[in-house]
């Protein structure tokens, strides 16, 4: 794939396209069209997701309105209570949450939400953005269904500048008002395939959805371009791959890996056993940043990639771990999985906000990253026997339990 084509795709998709939205469908059709231009028919594969339309979301602090966005799927209603800032979730701090609207730093994670509910909180406030930025952007967030498990309290998100101002000025009473329509909607995966000599499958994944403020160039149209380039590579290759190659552009990753979770859940045990490897791309090609490989597999794959990169003179950092991306649902089903990424320093490229645009991307670096990924993928696709053992080490399984909230990690 040429640098010119890479940049054109970034320009063509330079708009927010959140999971389950019309803009996500627009992007899915665009990716399917790009597959068609390579002579490969792509399927747009729909799956059910919870969606919401908010007609009213208001936050009042001591009767004064504060700009906010209500959490999708947190229910509707009105709640007024004393405000508690909760920077820690230790038992002593949580003991003060009963009957309060709780303000939490950053995202309201799974265990923090369970903790504040169990300790009697009646509402919550989160914040994002940066006190040092000029903007007053507020991200649209949701109370994910696997977090709430049907236990809902009202919540809003605000800008960091307002959060600081509120807490700095002393004790307060907060009031949250939300009206929303919650229903079942639809998100989509885009799936294309190149048949191999065997029905064993290597799956390439990359999510193509963005968050509400973001064009998603870095996170993760870059990865989507990466597997499109891999598709192009194998279409042009004279020799048929030994393994069948399946390319999945995953929807609703930003909403909790919903596309990849839905896909692996749709497969039978026999179909899952035929998948011998998952190669996931999530954030490559940024101007700044170090290239990494995170392997949810035997550690031999870590060493193989390190050696292979040295052979090609490509700088990389490799480890055995669980990566917060679409490789995780595959690994959880026993498929050896790895994610490639170029991780930029926060002050050179940020994600999940309005600064994630083509401006942080480098066509030349994209090309270098793609060339390395294709070289590695080619070795795997043409292997006489898949060198990666189809097993997930116990240490990785334990990390999957933590990541998927089946167990709580002791700090």
Topology given in CATH for the domain delimited by 63-171: Glucose Oxidase; domain 1 (3.50.30)
The pLDDT assigned to 225 comes to 98
First to last CA, the chain: 45
CB 269 within 8 A of CB 275: no
d(CA 200, CA 15): 37
d(CA 303, CA 150): 44
d(CA 10, CA 82): 46
- Asked if residue 142 has pLDDT above 90, the reply is yes
Topology given in CATH for the domain delimited by 3-50+186-403: Aminopeptidase (3.40.630)
The pTM of this model reads: 0.96
> In the chain, pLDDT over 90 holds for what percent of residues?
98
**Short-list 19, 18, 151, CA closest to 74:** 151
Q: Which residues pair with 339 in a beta bridge?
A: 280, 294
pLDDT digits (tens, 9 = 90+) for 297-342: 999 999 999 999 999 999 999 999 999 999 999 999 999 999 999 9
Cα dihedral value 281, 287, 289, 291, nearest 10:
40
pLDDT digits (tens, 9 = 90+) for 283-295: 999 999 999 999 9
d(CA 236, CA 170): 65
pLDDT band of 410, cuts 50, 70, 90: confident
Domain borders along the chain are 3-50+186-403, 63-171
173-194/123-128 β-pairing: unpaired
CB 401 within 8 A of CB 407: yes
pLDDT band of 185, cuts 50, 70, 90: very high
* Whole-number average pLDDT of the chain: 97
101-103/77-85 β-pairing: parallel
């Amino acid at each position: 794939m040429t640098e010119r084509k890479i940049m054109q795709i970034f320009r063509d998709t330079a708009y927010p396209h959140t999971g389950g939205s019309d803009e996500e469908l627009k992007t899915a059709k665009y990716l399917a069209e790009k597959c068609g231009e390579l002579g490969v028919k792509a399927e747009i594969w729909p799956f059910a997701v919870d969606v919401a339309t908010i007609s009213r979301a208001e936050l009042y602090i001591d009767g004064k309105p504060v700009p906010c966005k209500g959490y999708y799927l947190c229910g509707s209603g009105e709640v007024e209570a004393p405000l508690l800032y909760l920077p820690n979730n230790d038992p002593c701090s949580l003991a003060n949450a009963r009957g309060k609207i709780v303000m939490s730093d950053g995202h309201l994670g799974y265990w923090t939400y369970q903790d504040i509910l169990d300790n009697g909180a009646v509402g919550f406030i989160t914040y994002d953005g940066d006190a040092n930025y000029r903007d007053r952007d507020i991200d649209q967030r949701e109370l994910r269904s696997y977090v709430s498990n049907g236990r809902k309290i009202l919540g809003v998100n605000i800008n960091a500048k307002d959060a600081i101002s509120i807490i700095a000025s002393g004790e307060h009473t907060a009031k949250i008002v939300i009206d929303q329509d919650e229903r079942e909607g639809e998100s989509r995966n885009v799936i294309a395939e190149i048949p191999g000599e065997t029905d064993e499958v290597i799956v390439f994944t990359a999510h193509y959805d963005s968050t509400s403020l973001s064009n998603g160039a870095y996170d993760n149209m870059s990865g989507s371009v990466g597997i499109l380039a891999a598709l192009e590579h194998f279409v042009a290759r004279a020799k048929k791959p030994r393994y069948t190659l399946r390319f999945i552009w995953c929807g609703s990753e930003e909403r909790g890996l919903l596309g990849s979770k839905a896909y692996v859940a749709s497969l039978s045990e026999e179909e899952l056993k035929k998948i011998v490897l998952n190669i996931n791309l999530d954030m490559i090609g940024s101007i700044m940043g170090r290239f990494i490989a995170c392997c949810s597999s035997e550690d031999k794959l870590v060493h193989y990639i390190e050696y292979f990169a040295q052979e090609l003179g490509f700088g990389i950092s490799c480890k055995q771990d669980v990566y917060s991306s679409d490789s995780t649902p595959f690994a959880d089903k026993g498929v050896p999985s790895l994610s490639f990424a170029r991780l930029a320093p926060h002050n050179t490229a940020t994600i999940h906000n309005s600064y994630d645009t083509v401006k942080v991307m480098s066509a030349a670096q994209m090309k270098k990253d793609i060339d390395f990924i294709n070289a590695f993928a080619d070795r795997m696709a043409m292997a006489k026997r898949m060198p990666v053992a189809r097993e997930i080490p116990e240490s990785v399984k334990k990390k999957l339990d933590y990541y998927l909230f089946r167990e709580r990690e002791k700090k």
